[in-house]
Chains A and B, each alone.
Chain A
């Protein structure tokens, strides 16, 4: 369990270190990140749709 616990502790430390984005959150940055989220959600939805299509059609 030691290595796994160490890894989880390390990940926790990384999350703490990078908790706050350091880049200045201007309107353009916020909009870009929002569009990126929407884009990725749409892409993942397409992949899931394709996966379901493959599974159901055998």
Chain B
């Protein structure tokens, strides 16, 4: 009895801390989990099927990569109270501002198409026609954002983030050999030797870890949430926890496909779900639900990233704390992006594979620019004051940014010229 009495207070304290975090949790967690979008799920499913558990150690390396980049957007947003688009216009002038804004628009729209491709493919497994999925998704996303409160949007988004964890029980259901997972997955190795195909997979995994819209989304969300400089430690914790969860989910996807579909070439997550259905109906269902959820979360965040960016530059009211009458252009941009990209999926014989490849190439034009601007802004004394990057942050952040730029560029080029690395 005495033992339980002693345990009560620490547990209550811990529970209170969890409760407090759930109140404060937000942009970091949402952006990181949304990073596992339809394209991301496909990449992880294909990685697991191709290389089994052998690249799990590499996925773990992506935790600091995602954290260090996104942490900078938290500081920049909390200090300047400006979104990333506005910060670029203000810091680097109209030329770089327009370049970033228009490039963001194109990348976001194309990525949205891929999210709809993922969502319609996921529900097609259950026999739902694409047009019903598209209409349903648009209506659901309207409900999520039109309530006039950022807080409500964020908590609903966190609910969908929780659904993303469906891959974890899915992995346990396929009964992987834990010893193999630990032995093959945690010791750095290149299964089958380092060759062009492995390099392509490594680049694809990095490419899905940091996407241009993430920088714009998180910084704008930090501003819309009203985070202050004193909230930066919470923002950092939120981002770190989000980056850990996103990689953990990715690892469990790799374990599922690595266990059930070893050696199979996977072109899409929907194909992986189909294949899994043949082996275990429930696991296949989990993968399909997870794919839909991933596409939905990605679509919510990507549409918002664009709407916030345009609102910041054109001076429109651009907050989720406003009603549709108060910010008509903000919501018009949001729904225009959603509806037009959703309609593309419904066009018979639309070049969806070409669009998916094009996204990866166009993203390469925006990502380096956005990352370079981020580092430069974080070093500007007038902008950041005492919150500017320290030398250690510059060394780590600079190394990560340069690595991402090189690898994502090589990835983009390998998409353009597939035989280059073979």
Q: Is B93 positioned at the interface, with any CB of A under 8 Å from its CB?
A: yes
Task: Name which of B92, B369, B377 has the most chain A CB atoms within 10 A of its CB.
Answer: B92
Contact between A15 and B372, CB atoms less than 8 A apart = no
Contact between B372 and A20, CB atoms less than 8 A apart = no
Q: Is A5 positioned at the interface, with any CB of B under 8 Å from its CB?
A: no
In the complex, what's the smallest C-beta–C-beta distance from B189 to chain A, in angstroms?
33
Interchain CB contact (< 8 A) of B90 among A18, A24, A43: A18
Chain A residues within 8 Å of B409, by CB: 39, 43
Chain A residues within 8 Å of B296, by CB: none
Contact between B91 and A47, CB atoms less than 8 A apart = no
Chain B residues within 8 Å of A36, by CB: 368-369, 372
Interchain CB contact (< 8 A) of A40 among B92, B93, B361, B365: B365
A21 to B90, CA, bound (A): 6
In the complex, what's the smallest C-beta–C-beta distance from A52 to chain B, in angstroms?
12
Within 8 A of B (CB), among A2-53: 10, 14-15, 18-24, 29, 32-33, 36, 39-40, 43-44, 46-47, 50
Tally of contacts, chain A with chain B, CB under 8 A: 58
Please tell me the number of chain A residues within 8 Å of chain B, measured between CB atoms. 21
Given known A24-B380, A24-B381, A32-B372, contact A43–B365 (CB-CB < 8 A): yes
Q: Is B298 positioned at the interface, with any CB of A under 8 Å from its CB?
A: no
Please tell me the number of chain B residues within 8 Å of chain A, measured between CB atoms. 28
Q: Which residue of A lies closest to B415 (CB)?
A: A50
Chain A residues within 8 Å of B364, by CB: 43
Interchain CB contact (< 8 A) of A24 among B314, B369, B382, B412: B382
Contact between B416 and A50, CB atoms less than 8 A apart = yes
Interchain CB contact (< 8 A) of B368 among A10, A39, A50: A39
Given known A23-B383, A47-B416, contact A15–B94 (CB-CB < 8 A): yes
Q: Is B417 positioned at the interface, with any CB of A under 8 Å from its CB?
A: yes
A1 to B308, CA, bound (A): 26
Contact between B94 and A19, CB atoms less than 8 A apart = yes
In the complex, what's the smallest C-beta–C-beta distance from A46 to chain B, in angstroms?
6
Given known A43-B409, A46-B416, contact A22–B369 (CB-CB < 8 A): no
What secondary structure prevails in chain A residues at the interface with B?
helix
Contact between A14 and B94, CB atoms less than 8 A apart = yes
A21 to B382, CA, bound (A): 13
A33 to B92, CA, bound (A): 9
Chain A residues within 8 Å of B90, by CB: 18, 22
Within 8 A of A (CB), among B351-409: 361, 364-365, 368-369, 372, 376-377, 380-383, 409
Q: Which 8 A-B pairs have the closest CB atoms?
A: A21-B93, A23-B91, A18-B94, A18-B89, A15-B94, A50-B416, A21-B92, A23-B380
Could you tell me which B residues sit within 8 Å of A by CB distance?
Answer: 89-94, 96-97, 313-315, 361, 364-365, 368-369, 372, 376-377, 380-383, 409, 412-413, 416-417
Sample 24 A-B pairs with CB under 8 A, ordered by A number.
Answer: A10-B314, A10-B315, A14-B89, A14-B94, A14-B97, A18-B97, A19-B93, A20-B93, A21-B93, A21-B96, A23-B91, A23-B383, A33-B96, A33-B372, A36-B372, A39-B368, A39-B409, A40-B365, A43-B412, A44-B365, A46-B416, A47-B361, A50-B416, A50-B417
Further pairs besides A18-B89, A43-B365, A43-B409: 18, Cβ < 8 Å: A10-B314, A10-B315, A14-B313, A14-B314, A18-B90, A19-B94, A21-B91, A21-B92, A21-B93, A23-B382, A24-B380, A33-B92, A33-B96, A39-B409, A43-B364, A43-B412, A46-B416, A50-B417
